[in-house]
Structure 1
Amino acid sequence: MSVLAAMFGVQTEANRRRDFSSGNPMAYIVIFVIFLALFVLTIAGIVTLVISLSS
């Protein structure tokens, strides 16, 4: 949940400190890559849909 909140810029300073002091960096990297891929695929899908509907 911390990664999702951080991606939108709404994470509190206390949560950020907790995550960096006790979290596993590899878990955050994996979650970030998954969310990034989902974001890119969603944008690509929306663009493809809009282009196909405008033709």
Structure 2
Amino acid sequence: MLSSRAKRVRRVIDLSCKSMKANRFVKLHGALKGQTSLTVSLQKEHALEIEKEKR
């Protein structure tokens, strides 16, 4: 079972991925103002999405 923080992180990632699919030029650092661990999570998720699209 996920902790409440993990659930929030997952929700932010899901919402950001939807936004990135709509607009490929969304800047990840602007998505989460100053919350570095979440920004890193978004960057990793975005990289995975890009890899999936290339296949």
Whether TM exceeds 0.5 here: the answer is no
Question: Which structure is larger by alpha-carbon Rg, 1 or 2?
Answer: 1
TM-score by length of 2: 0.44
TM-score by length of 1: 0.44
Higher percent of residues as helix: 1
